[in-house]
Amino acid sequence: MYATQALTHLVPLAEELDKNKVTPGVLGFIVFAALAVGVWLLMKSMNRHMGKVDFDEAPDPAAAEGVTEPAVSAGSAKRK
């Protein structure tokens, strides 16, 4: 059987399709659900990894030397 003969058998099925109503169908739902599960697993993993982070900020070396006022760069203003 040739491909053209196979397509002629499918033409009547295509004519029954309502061209004004297009839905994603079951495949669209499965893809969307798989993406949602993947995002959920990534968020769960990220929360687990962020819980392991222990960050202690190092003291400012300028403050350790006794400098109380940081140098003001050009274009920035002091706040009171």
Q: What is the DSSP string of 1-68?
A: --HHHHHHHHHHHHHTS-TT----HHHHHHHHHHHHHHHHHHHHHHHHHHHH----PPPPHHHHTT--
In the prediction, which pLDDT does 59 show? 82
Q: How far apart are CA 39 and CA 34, in angstroms?
A: 9
In the prediction, which pLDDT does 21 show? 82
Percent of the chain with pLDDT over 90: 34
Cβ 70 vs Cβ 62: under 8 Å: yes
In the prediction, which pLDDT does 7 show? 60
What are 1-37's pLDDT values in tens digits? 566 666 666 566 556 767 788 788 899 999 999 999 9
